[in-house]
Amino acid sequence: MALDATIGGYTANSYVTVEEADAYFLDRIHSEDWSVSVPKEQALITASRMLDWYLKFKGYKADAEQAMEWPRVEVTLSSGYEVSSTIIPKAVKVATFEMALAVLAEDRSLDDDLAGLAHVQAGPLVIKTAQGIRPAAKSPVPDRVKESLRDYIRGSGISVVWLERA
């Protein structure tokens, strides 16, 4: 499928165009993966979809029939400004660029099944976690991308605290 970055479009599948991404990465250091990338359209489509799948944005779709989560209505930033319901905010576009670069570097949709494990033994079964590290799946969306959207996603101020029995 060809990339469709029509704002609020019924068949849209990306928040940005290849031209916008090329311009963004022209000024960004450590973006070599983008400049040599062949599947740029696929990377942008995948990045846009992953943002929609894994993040819960504030407000709701401007049109129930639009394909993507943006544009949205009733999104007010912490500064008090309301986001226009006819645009894709710059922060969402930048997050799409950064997410595309991340998906080119590695398959972000795969869980890291061994995260936090220090020792695994088959028989008799022994599994030990690394000191101070909790086994957890790697987040599909990099922290830097989530942080860039903190004013646009719900629950971005919530923290998780691990409790252990002594």
Delimit the domains of the chain by residue range.
18-111+141-148
pLDDT at 33: 79
- Strands 117-121 and 126-129, by their bridges, are antiparallel
- Three-state secondary structure of the chain: CCCCCCCCCCCCCCCCCHHHHHHHHHCCCCCHHHHCCCCHHHHHHHHHHHHHHHCCECCEECCCCCCCCCCEECCECCCCCECCCCCCCHHHHHHHHHHHHHHHHCCCCCCCCCCCEEEEECCCCEEEECCCCCCCCCCCCCHHHHHHCCCCECCCCCCCCCCCCC
pLDDT at 159: 47
Task: Quote the longest CA-to-CA distance of the chain.
Answer: 60
Residue 133 has pLDDT above 60, yes or no: no
pLDDT at 53: 95
Question: In degrees, to the nearest 5, what angle opens at C-alpha 43 toward C-alphas 39 and 47?
Answer: 175
Residue 142 has pLDDT above 80, yes or no: yes
Q: How confident is the model at residue 148 (pLDDT cuts 50, 70, 90)?
A: very high
Q: How confident is the model at residue 34 (pLDDT cuts 50, 70, 90)?
A: confident
Over residues 137-163, the mean pLDDT reads 76
**CB-CB contact of 19 with 8 (8 Å):** no
Average pLDDT, the chain: 84
Q: Which of 11-25, 33-47, 62-76 has the lowest mean pLDDT?
A: 33-47
